[in-house]
Amino acid sequence: MIVLHGLVTPDGAIACWAEDADLPARTTSKAKLARHPFALDAAALAELFAEQKPFPQAGRDLVVSLPSRGGTPDDSPELVRDPLTAGPAARGEHRLRDWKIPVVTPASAVLSSIVDMELPDGRVGADLRYLADIARWAEELVAAGKVVPGIAGTTRTASARWQAGLYGADAVRFTARAAALPAPCRAARLADPAEDVLRAAVHTMVDTIARERLAGQRLAPKLGKRPTPADATAHAWLTALTGAPEFDADAVEFGRLAGRLADWQASGSQTSPVRACFRLRSPEQFDDAALDDEAEAEEPVWRLEFLVQAVEEPSVLVSAEDIWSERDNLVLHRWVGAPQEVLLAELGRASRLFEPLNTALREPRPVELELDTDGAYAFLTHASTLDQAGFGVQLPSWWQQPVELGLKLTSASRGTAGVVAKNTAAGLKALVDYRWDLALGDAELTEAELRALAEAKVPLVRLRGQWVQVDPKRVAAGLAFLRRSGSGQMAAGQVLLRAAHPDEADLPLPVTGVADRGWLGDLLSGTVERQLEPVDPPPGFTATLRPYQRRGLAWLAFLDSLGLGACLADDMGLGKTVQLIALEALARKESPRPPTLVICPMSMVGTWQREAARFAPGLAVLVHHGSNRLTGEELTETIGKHDLVVTTYSLATKDSTALGEIEWDRVVLDEAQNIKNSASRQSQTVRQFPARHRIALTGTPVENRLAELWSIMDFANPGVLGSVNSFRARFSVPIERDNDTGAAARLRKLTGPFVLRRLKTDPKIIDDLPEKFELKQLCTLTAEQASLYQAVVDDMLARIEDSEGMERRGLVLATMSKLKQVCNHPAQLLGDGSRIAGRSGKLARLEDILAEALADGDKVLCFTQFAAFGGMLVPHLSARFDTEVLFLHGGTSKKAREDAVRRFQSPDGPKIFLLSLKAGGTGLTLTAANHVVHLDRWWNPAVEDQATDRAFRIGQRRDVQVRKFVCIGTLEEKIDAMIEEKKALAQLVVGAGENWLTELSTSQLRELVTLSSEAVID
């Protein structure tokens, strides 16, 4: 595994380097300045960034100081080595030692999103995360115009540069960030103070980003024929701010320009530890009479109170009154000696930004400024300017969370969802009566309120006991719209569109609400699943659906009948696949339809194939995979004869031309988070397949970013959430960055009609669940696994004829063991420490399961009978999920064992626990887990059950899911089938372990180990 780190170089750039757990921990070099023994070399480092645009510059080697013992640098906390192969701990004095490391310097755009970068077998260190956050901050600073132009260098090497304008609140943020600068970021310049290191990095990034945004722009006007030296220098400097940074200047002019700019930049700095704070209070906050509507005739008076605030401790606030009377100055004396003068200077400075303050300054001891509503509005609009300039500003809460003036649509659809589900004529084309109202948020406005709004002269109006900001022009436009088209009839589908696209250009105001009392209302409120009658699958369907699955089927069928795309987002283990297969069986019961395309991860193809065959034998299923898969016309023709076509994401992309020519009845995405990146080729391709209906299945609609939800929803119902950019502005930024609960509620409402998500922790669902939830997880082999498997089989068959007795038994047992290792991972059989990622079907499936479990906050036990396999997985899974992975094997000491169990059981402890079946199968209490995965099989149900019971040990938990991994078409599946079919016999023969295998005849053995063609998907 690899850990990617970041540091600030001596010239202020941010560079990346990496540790590689597969390299030796210790240097053999005797040189004083040696190469870091396990730093990734320059070529491999560049390879990590191969996909990134722009491609980062390879740097020279850097010298860094790292804590070390002798010839061994410390591993960073993120680096995890295979515990079974790692050497003994290093000895010697613990001290900082210099090492040479190769580095690359990525562009700031790459840096700011580095946490999202695909690192198949790597993770990002805390130091680089910190710098990525700084890169994002630099981008925000530039976007907000918080940059100042300046000069670097001397006369001979003059260059223009943009610098961060770190004033006011940003200066405070800078100090806080500098205090949190991780030491590894300073490894190349440990002698410099943290503030200098961070400042250099921020300025460098800001300069780069600013120049990117200014590319091609010219700030300097044309220069006259004989410019004065001053003009020539100013011109050269302005030009250098957008072009090549270097410029020529004569010594005198350079000095003058540099001096003026330095003074200018410094003029924004606030060095005082206290500042003025302005608090706006609306009339009713201090004047009870203003609450009285009778008193409305009088012009309400607002108060802007002056206070002094400690910058570091904003809760320390002293009123101007106390400052003048020196009553409470002791509090402030901790920060400042002469608070009166500070208050005066601050008021003087603020009066430059908000001119009306001058009025208050006409008094000898000003404590507040009285404002009328007009003036209050003016102040509110200046508030952010004052805030940026470093003043404290306290505004009424309603200003920060404005209530939006908008239009509310009320429609009256007829009938219930159940009726509509059966009668297609009553669907989206049916006409419904509607009425528009002006509304504040969700509340419709009365005639009187509308009049008050229309007559308001100031954009601040008091309505229903709260102040709201309204633009008179918008009110007028809204009223005109109501007069023009306040009511009438529209198609039900139109109502849905209004709900989805509240900002349509044909409306003068955004839509703040859509309400309906009929079936449309149920759909819009996201409660339609509860209104529908549960649906039974058609006769011939062999699985029994649980109650919540029958409700899910009804919901899918309802949206299907309306042609609305659906996202079924039930928790993992609740049976999304079986609900979808039931829908297909139901839909195809009456009349034939074009085929449905199911796109799923490679590791799920077998599951789809097996479950469709088992539950709905009437469906014709085609698996489109393998190197000898059909192409061209033959493919088109064959597809036409099938109901379900199952393929993988990678093949859907590869064969997109052929698959895109077919008119599908439905396109289904299983594990739809695979298209979470809407810009990826895979994601673009599957969107383009023509289909009457689309369904996305996923247990984790949002893994990391809200944009993933956009991508999935936009697949199911193209355009439903608007463009990705408007989605970002409307939802992603407010919800992710500002924690805007209002926006989150709006998004839930908007997606409600199309998303059905049931949680396994939901009491209603738990009652529906079986006591023990156990399922076989069917996995496929990769091509590499298949060829290795074949080689092991061939080798055994070649030798078995000539062997007998002990030798034969030994050969059979060794072969069985090897085959099981191949099914686990090629690297386990080869034992060569080769790459882990992307070579095993089981591993791919395990990663999917872990991803979902971790996203739900669940804990997972993984059992294997091979300690070596567990050891291999520890570094890989730590990197893949950027988390700690516990491991318990035969060599674990008693103390370490108890420690691991205790930590796993604690709520905040590690969430993944790998155990070797022998060491961890008995005697432990691991009830914190609600998932158990058996990575390989012991063929002894009793042993497996014993291990499973680690998680079930106490209490009757119904939410524990047990998965047994089985590779399709291999001996694993065949032995599993034997056990299932002859359970009684099997328990007899299998009870003693695997020895019974050695008693099989050669032809039985051949039958058992032969690889069937469906085993591999590639």
Partner 1 sequence: MTEPRRPFRGFPPPAKPIRVPGGLTARSKRGEIAQTWWSRRFIEVLESFGMGGRLQSGKRYARAGQVLSLTVSTSLVTGLVQGSRPEPYKVRIAVKAFGAQDWKRIERALAGQALYAAKLLAGEFPTEVEEVFTKLGLRLFPDSMRELTMDCSCPDWEVPCKHLAAACYLLAESFDEDPFQILAWRGRSRADLLERLRELRSRRPAAPEEPDEPEPAEPEPDAESFWTAPPPPATRAPQPPAEPDALLDQLAPLPLSLGGQRLIDLLRPAYESFRGDQDG
Tell which positions 886-915 bind partner 1, by CB under 8 A.
none
Decide if 405 contacts 438 (C-beta within 8 A). yes
115 lies in the binding site for partner 1 (CB under 8 A): no
Q: What is the DSSP letter of 107?
A: -
Show Cβ contacts of residue 596 under 8 Å, excluding neighbours closer than 6 positions. 584, 643, 644, 645, 664, 665, 666, 667, 668
Taking the complex as a whole, the smallest distance from the CB of residue 363 to partner 1 amounts, in Å, to 6
705 lies in the binding site for partner 1 (CB under 8 A): no
Taking the complex as a whole, the smallest distance from the CB of residue 227 to partner 1 amounts, in Å, to 8
Task: For the segment 818-847, give every residue that binds partner 1 (CB under 8 A).
Answer: none
Task: For the segment 372-431, give every residue that binds partner 1 (CB under 8 A).
Answer: 381, 384-385, 387-389
Taking the complex as a whole, the smallest distance from the CB of residue 338 to partner 1 amounts, in Å, to 7
| In the block, residue with structure tokens 């309906």 | 516
Binds partner 1 (CB under 8 A): choice among 220, 301, 813, 1000: 220
603 lies in the binding site for partner 1 (CB under 8 A): no
Taking the complex as a whole, the smallest distance from the CB of residue 737 to partner 1 amounts, in Å, to 5
* Closer residue to partner 1, CB minimum distance, 733 or 769: 733
Furthest C-alpha separation in the chain: 112
Q: How crowded is residue 574: how many other Cβ atoms within 10 Å of its Cβ?
A: 25
Q: Which among 314, 313, 312 is positioned nearest to 279, based on CA atoms? A: 314
265 lies in the binding site for partner 1 (CB under 8 A): yes
Size of the site for partner 1 (CB under 8 A): 111
Taking the complex as a whole, the smallest distance from the CB of residue 312 to partner 1 amounts, in Å, to 13
Tokens at residue 233, please?
């220098």
* Closer residue to partner 1, CB minimum distance, 6 or 502: 6
* Closer residue to partner 1, CB minimum distance, 143 or 745: 143
286 lies in the binding site for partner 1 (CB under 8 A): no
Task: For the segment 92-111, give every residue that binds partner 1 (CB under 8 A).
Answer: 94-96
Alpha-carbon distance 849 to 870, whole Å? 17
* Closer residue to partner 1, CB minimum distance, 234 or 304: 234
Q: For 597, list phi and psi in degrees, rounded to 5.
A: -100, 125
229 lies in the binding site for partner 1 (CB under 8 A): yes
Kindly write down the DSSP assignment for every residue of 850-876, as one continuous string.
HHHHHHTT--EEEEES-HHHHHHHHHH
Q: Which among 881, 879, 900 is positioned nearest to 889, based on CA atoms? A: 900
Binds partner 1 (CB under 8 A): choice among 54, 113, 244, 260: 260
Decide if 683 contacts 589 (C-beta within 8 A). no
Q: Identify whether 54 is preceded by a cis peptide bond (ω within 30 of 0).
A: yes
Alpha-carbon separation of residue 228 from 151, 261, 576, 677, 701 (angstroms): 20, 19, 77, 55, 64
224 lies in the binding site for partner 1 (CB under 8 A): yes
Taking the complex as a whole, the smallest distance from the CB of residue 124 to partner 1 amounts, in Å, to 12
Binding segment for partner 1 (CB under 8 A), chosen from 46-54, 143-151, 673-681, 821-829, is 143-151
Alpha-carbon distance 804 to 650, whole Å? 46
* Closer residue to partner 1, CB minimum distance, 210 or 851: 210
Measured CA angle at 73 (ends 67, 78), to 5 deg: 90
Binding segment for partner 1 (CB under 8 A), chosen from 140-148, 471-479, 576-584, 970-978, is 140-148
Binding segment for partner 1 (CB under 8 A), chosen from 251-259, 477-485, 611-619, 856-864, is 251-259
Binds partner 1 (CB under 8 A): choice among 289, 291, 419, 729: 729
Measured CA angle at 581 (ends 577, 587), to 5 deg: 145
264 lies in the binding site for partner 1 (CB under 8 A): yes
For CA atoms 828, 829, 833, 838, give the dihedral sign: negative
Binds partner 1 (CB under 8 A): choice among 54, 92, 145, 540: 145
740 lies in the binding site for partner 1 (CB under 8 A): no
Tokens at residue 663, please?
């008119």
244 lies in the binding site for partner 1 (CB under 8 A): no
Taking the complex as a whole, the smallest distance from the CB of residue 644 to partner 1 amounts, in Å, to 40
Q: For 4, list phi and psi in degrees, rounded to 5.
A: -90, 130
For CA atoms 996, 999, 1003, 1005, give the dihedral sign: positive
* Closer residue to partner 1, CB minimum distance, 187 or 438: 187
Q: Which among 126, 96, 98, 116 is positioned nearest to 39, based on CA atoms? A: 98
* Closer residue to partner 1, CB minimum distance, 260 or 982: 260
* Closer residue to partner 1, CB minimum distance, 67 or 415: 67
Q: For 789, list phi and psi in degrees, rounded to 5.
A: -60, -50
Tokens at residue 754, please?
């199309």
189 lies in the binding site for partner 1 (CB under 8 A): no
* Closer residue to partner 1, CB minimum distance, 237 or 869: 237
68 lies in the binding site for partner 1 (CB under 8 A): yes
Binding segment for partner 1 (CB under 8 A), chosen from 248-256, 605-613, 804-812, 856-864, is 248-256
Task: For the segment 780-819, give every residue that binds partner 1 (CB under 8 A).
Answer: none
Taking the complex as a whole, the smallest distance from the CB of residue 388 to partner 1 amounts, in Å, to 5
144 lies in the binding site for partner 1 (CB under 8 A): yes
Indicate the burial class of 362 (C-beta count within 10 angstroms; 0-12, 13-18, 19 or more): exposed
* b (16+ CB within 10 A) / e for 148-179: bbbbeeeeeebbbbbbbbbbbbbbbebeebbe
Collapse the DSSP code of 929 into the 3-class scheme (helix H, G, I; strand E, B; otherwise coil) and give the result. coil
Beta-strand ranges (E) seen in 290-348 are 302-310, 317-319
Binding segment for partner 1 (CB under 8 A), chosen from 278-286, 658-666, 696-704, 726-734, is 726-734
988 lies in the binding site for partner 1 (CB under 8 A): no
Task: For the segment 322-381, give every residue that binds partner 1 (CB under 8 A).
Answer: 324-326, 329, 333, 337-338, 340-341, 344-349, 351-353, 358, 360-366, 381
Q: What is the DSSP letter of 730?
A: I
* Closer residue to partner 1, CB minimum distance, 68 or 411: 68
199 lies in the binding site for partner 1 (CB under 8 A): no
Decide if 40 contacts 17 (C-beta within 8 A). yes
210 lies in the binding site for partner 1 (CB under 8 A): yes
Binding segment for partner 1 (CB under 8 A), chosen from 178-186, 672-680, 705-713, 943-951, is 178-186
Q: Which among 414, 413, 408, 415 is positioned nearest to 435, based on CA atoms? A: 408
Amino acid at residue number 880:
R
